[in-house]
Amino acid sequence: MRPLRIGLTLRILGVLVVLGVAVFPLYWMIVTALSSNSDLFAEKARLVPDFSQFGVFIDALAEGKALGWLRNSLVIAVGTTVLSIGLGIPLGYALSRFSFWGKAIVTVLLLFTQMLPEALMVVPLFSLFRRFGLLDSLGGLILVNSAFVLPIVALILKGAIDGIPRALEESARVDGARPLTVLTRINVPLIAPSIAATAVIAFFHAWNEYVFAVTFIFTPGKQPASVGIANFIGELGTPIQTVMAVAFMFTLPAVVFYLFAQRHVVAGMTAGAVKG
């Protein structure tokens, strides 16, 4: 019994250490945001937030810019997630279930896209977006983010669909189900954990994206939070408390979304790893 208790204690300690490492950056952002200038530049760091300085959060929201940035980021992230999953499900299904010429080449090309850095594509995409009138629009950012995250979404969903027995689909076809019905009524519910995992990947990619956002968006009111926070950095001074307050508000929705979907993430990432 004693070795069992020791092992359990060590596991609990390990979980607490990992949890502390993960939560500490959020805690330190709160402490920094709720610190006065004298506390920030004192010899000893302040370890407990000063809630009398909570007005920095109210001021950041009252100005309207931070709230607008967060709204834009949410629109871009949700739009990218919906579009990439909506296109990734049929693409993953086609790669998994249909045989066609060049199927292996398509799969390799999807993998190859993940090797291309975003900065390499800025100039050609800028010219393309200017031609089609997609510059300075949230829709343009949704399209470009979806294009970059779609390959990994499709490949993850392909692996999940590979693990579904074909006999289930054949039974549905015998009963008169059409291909679209088979996909939506049989495959989609079975790969729900993988869809949740890809939703987290797509959401985080779009939520944190900076390069395309700072290049393609010109109007300050259309900027996402990833770009808006960078605008606080000035030549003569930077309001550190305001930056940390907005950064905390920018981080919190992503953390909440991950906590909401995290129980499906591990199952979704491992789905299809073992076929049969």
What is the reported pTM? Answer: 0.84
CA distance 45 to 2: 41
Distance CA 118, CA 108 (A): 19
pLDDT at 63: 67
Question: Can you give the pLDDT at residue 272?
Answer: 47
Dmax (CA) for the chain in angstroms is: 76
Can you give the pLDDT at residue 151?
A: 92
Q: Which residue, among 159, 254, 156, has the nearest Cα to 204 in the 3D structure?
A: 254
| pLDDT given at position 82 | 96
The pLDDT assigned to 190 comes to 87
Instruction: Report residue 217 as tokens.
Output: 């968006």
End-to-end CA distance of the chain, in Å?
A: 38
Task: Give per-10-residue mean pLDDT for the chain (276 aa).
Answer: 71 85 86 82 79 80 81 94 94 86 83 81 91 92 93 90 86 82 86 89 92 91 88 70 86 82 62 46
Residue 270 has what pLDDT?
Answer: 53
